[in-house]
Amino acid sequence: MGSNHSSLSGTHVFQSGQGQIGFNLMNSLQQSPESDTTRERLAGLDVQKRVTDELKRLQNKEDQISKAMDEQIVAETVEDSQFNRSSVSRSISTLSQKLRNKSGPIDQSEVVKTAETAVVRCLRLNDRRPLDCWREVEEFKREVTRLEDAFVNKVVGDV
């Protein structure tokens, strides 16, 4: 029943608003091995290729810009670190020289010697209970810290 309507007839004539489409054009379209889906697929692949090429071009441009920025940052960092590195190394060598010149026994002040003697005396008196000497130990720690601070200020203060 519907089989007669679905078969293709030999010639088709398409009419547009003012004239007919040329017979040669229609004939070449009908005899072309490409179907509409093939043409659509080829057109889609062409568009996809153009988009891919444009993305690659943009990616390359972005990579070049990124590389240039990285090189600029590295150059600035190297300049800054060399300046800092040289000044720090000079400071270290100056301090090392001063410490070598001042090496030797550290003079303990009388207050530190007195605090040390007090700790020793307390520990001897309380040999079974050394925790009772916490006040003397704290005083000794305080005096040693003061002596260390004075030494550091003396060495670093001369810079």
Residue 29 in domain? no
Residue 118 in domain? yes
Residue 55 in domain? no
Residues with Cβ within 8 Å of 116's Cβ and at least 6 positions away in sequence, in order, are 108, 140
- Per the structure, how many domains does the chain have? 2
Which domain covers residue 147, as residue numbers?
A: 110-159
pLDDT attached to residue 94: 81
Cα–Cα distance measured from residue 110 to residue 31, given in angstroms and rounded to the nearest whole number: 116
pLDDT attached to residue 140: 92
Instruction: Give mean pLDDT, residues 7-32.
Output: 62
Residue 123 in domain? yes
Q: How many helices (H) and strands (E) does the chain have?
A: 5, 0
- Looking at the structure, do residues 157 and 138 belong to the same domain, yes or no? yes
Residue 28 in domain? no
- Looking at the structure, do residues 116 and 145 belong to the same domain, yes or no? yes
21-25, 47-51, 78-82, 153-157: least confident range: 78-82
pLDDT attached to residue 14: 54
Residue 75 in domain? yes
